[in-house]
Amino acid sequence: MELKDYRRQYTKGGLARAALPKNPLDLFTQWQSDAAQAGLADPTGCVVATVQPDGSVRQRFVLLKGFDEQGFVFFTNYQSDKAVALASYGRASILFPWNELDRQVSISGEVTKISEEASDAYFSTRPYASQIAAWTSDQSRPIASRSDLEAQYQRAVERFEDTDVARPPHWGGFRLTPQRIEFWQGGSDRLHDRFVYDFDAAWVLTRLQP
């Protein structure tokens, strides 16, 4: 299959150093808001890349559920492949592919579990079906058929038929504390604008060649 002719110009606008804030979270906040207002299907969606215990590298799509000066928070099954990788290596990279805006943001840093109280608080806000699904799936493990998965779901429904759905002990949040944040804005003729913030006691801003 030939793919060499699939290309386009990036025309959504440039990124000037003089307009960039000292704190990259200020720019991320603006770009995240822009993605939501643009009507993207998953404006908080990001790709999490991890180093597995065997040394291989994997990626998967998750939804960002919060961020502040302490870091970027997402939730998962603690027994999943990504959680096992995070427990083993303690570092990850997340990428926000806002292609419709000709933008990408890549964030790298250390990853730790959030508190059980914070995981409980978020879990309580999830839709009922999502709460049940957290009990249903033995994430990343093989299963024989879709019908087996649906049967597991139904058993979870019956288990919590007359009570609130508590957070499973194997499910909760991770926080990525950023040490490097790169902003990419597509430019015409492949002259893209790339700026990276590195943290060394304070944020240091550098323009990179495209």
Q: Could you give the residue numbers annotated as active site?
A: 190
End-to-end CA distance of the chain: 27
When computed from its CA atoms, the radius of gyration of the chain, rounded to whole angstroms, is 20
Rounded distance between C-alpha atoms, residue 114 and residue 78, angstroms: 12
Picking from 71, 29, 30, 65, the residue whose alpha carbon sits closest to that of residue 44 is 65
